[in-house]
Structure 1
Amino acid sequence: MEPIVALEIGTSRVRVFVGEAREDGGLMITAVGDSASSGMRKGEMFHFDSVCSCVETALHQAEEAANLTINEVYLAMSGSQIEGMPNRGEIPVDGEITPDHVEHVLRVAREVTLPADRQILHSIVGQYSVDGLAGVRPVGMTGKTLAADVLIVHGLYSRMLNLVRVAKSQKLEVAELLFSGLCSAMSALSAEQKLQGVLLIDVGGGTTDYVAYAQARIADAGVISVGGDHVTNDIARAFRLPTTEAEALKIQFGDAMVSAAGRTRRLALPAGAGETPRTAKLSDLQTIVHLRMEETLGLIRARLQQQKLLHLLGSGVVLTGGGAYLRNVAPLAEKVFGLPCEIGAPRNVSGLTANLAVPEYATGVGAVLCGYKSVRTRAEQTRSVWQKLGHWFGIG
């Protein structure tokens, strides 16, 4: 099997991940290219040439590290234009349910009317129901009606096309477009967490992706157009600082919870040449961070509450992305959702070293996993076709 390569174009970073199949069927990440991102805002491109330059840098690093030429990528993307839409299809069967019935009901469930400027990224099967009994494996059962619940993840076609054009500019073919949130879930969540119900939140620089599993199925997914960069901008405005210095202040002293000690401690603010030295209360910085993060998590909570999913999240909340490093963000999430929360990282690939098993790599590693799954699925389908042909013509 050829190496699987994922390209992640984010607001803060552009990364290329190379994965290779092991003899035991596992997957190993063998190289990573990483570049600061320019030309992206809230997960969406505003300067084509800048993004192309960043991709070129990350691609070159990955090719050098893996000692190969990359021609094809699985492209992970986010952005506020991406939405998740649950849909149900139902057909009459009146007898034993066959694989043809399942294919039919899935076609019906996936037939949704979207505006002309939108395109489906993923249509994810949730569960099947026979005569109202949900969560069944329908083939072989009998009944009068068969229903399928799917989640349609869709986005603006022009935004997707622009990112594909970036890849094409580097002479790359795009094997698949992938929603970043699903990629993070693929790498950071266990089968047990999905079975018990879990909410994954990936806090990036410009966006926050979320994916909710309920009863072992993806029940909702979406994007909030707020990320870690917005916290930095809040700090910069409040204390009249350049964004680079506000970012440094956030990393060193930022806290998602306001502490009692912060009310008495003062921080020296960066000052330029000839400027009067300034200080600020630590609690003021903590309050700025707390309010922005509480608002972001609260928007996700409101969505899940509307979908009646909160009580189905038995395994709680898992945080990934660079924003997961923010001090006390997990306790804040526990407070907002009323659920246990942990910091997640890639876990479902072989040979992960300490520098790869980090929250900010969840999307990229997950995109490689998605690509690996797609390749194996296609190989199995091809093998099945040849087996059928062999049976029909008496070959093999």
Structure 2
Amino acid sequence: QKLTSALNELREKKSAEATAKQIKDDRDLDHNRSVGTITQMEFMVRLKKRDWEEVSENLSRAQRNLIARQDEYDVAKNASKTALEAKEAAEREVNAATAALNSGDSAYIRQIYQYFYIILGRMPGQSEINYWINDLRRGDGPRVFAYNIYKGSDSYTRSLSPKDFFTRAYTRGLGRDDNLIYSGIDYWANVMMNASDTPDSLGGVFANFINGVLSETSGYGKTGKDNLNDTVNKVINASVEPARQKLKDASDRYDQAKIYEGGANQNLVDAKATLARAPDSTQAKNDYDQAVRDVESAIRASDDAYKAASNAAEEYRKASGLTQSAQDLVNALSAAATPPSTGTTNDLNAKLSAYNIAEGIAAETQKRANDAYDDLTLIRGAGDARLKELTQLY
């Protein structure tokens, strides 16, 4: 009867052991999968972090590029403004110089050039024009003006003899080298020698000579007049030329500045477009943060899976121990229940002794199973502490 009961209990223990083993295997598989999931998620975290850092760097680079291009454009725009102001100033200078030639003083200016070139053999400077034009505005006639120029000239001109004076006037002032100049030189030299040192007399000699030259209409005389006018015109026009050259240079610089400004503006437009196309680092950061949270969640799930696997392993070991204990009891009872070969009291006593021994073995097996369960409890506690330590380190 005890054997039958032990056999039934053994079947129950084996069934419970099989169930415990299946649960243990399932829990081990779940734990192993959770560990693999963590590894994959850690790799994804690194990828998401790299993506976030790359997007952030690209965005920062685009922002820095935009600032640099904006600075370049501001510099180019200011340079264009400065170049335009210089161009406008040069235009005003040209207009002023041209207006001066076309003003009411233009005849006075031309007269100053003509008298200087004939009497002194050179062209006047701007300061001399500014000085002598006041005398003409004041009403000084050609005689007084010519006399004052001569008397205020350099000592070399005043030291020339009348013949040398008019030789220079013909050859340099009028650009003539024909034979007819000699009779003219002799004539005017004689007039100058007989003139008195007064504006009306000596000044009249110079004024009459120049007026005569300017009145020529043909022949060598007109050639001398044309030469004088050409020389004076070149000098007068040359007075405007520096302003015109300045205007040309200023215009060239302005054109170059506008080209540079246009290029800088295009670079600025491109930089703005690049920044507009740059991905927002916020989404990449959110993806990275979510990946970190997923890893943390997976770690917690792995902890739970580990604990479940540990509990299942302990239940399986306990079930195995109980099964073994039941098996030992069945084995002992089977041996005790074997019919004796003879019906002697000694044989019956031997069987009874074997039964008692079997019960003792079963009790000892049960004790070992309980001790093993206690050891597994200690092992589980150490495993939980180690898992907690590893989690903190991660």
TM-score interval (norm. to shorter): under 0.3
- Structure-2-length-normalised TM-score: 0.20
**Structure holding more strand per residue:** 1
Greater relative CO (CA pairs within 8 A, separation 6+): 2
- Structure-1-length-normalised TM-score: 0.20
**Structure holding more helix per residue:** 2
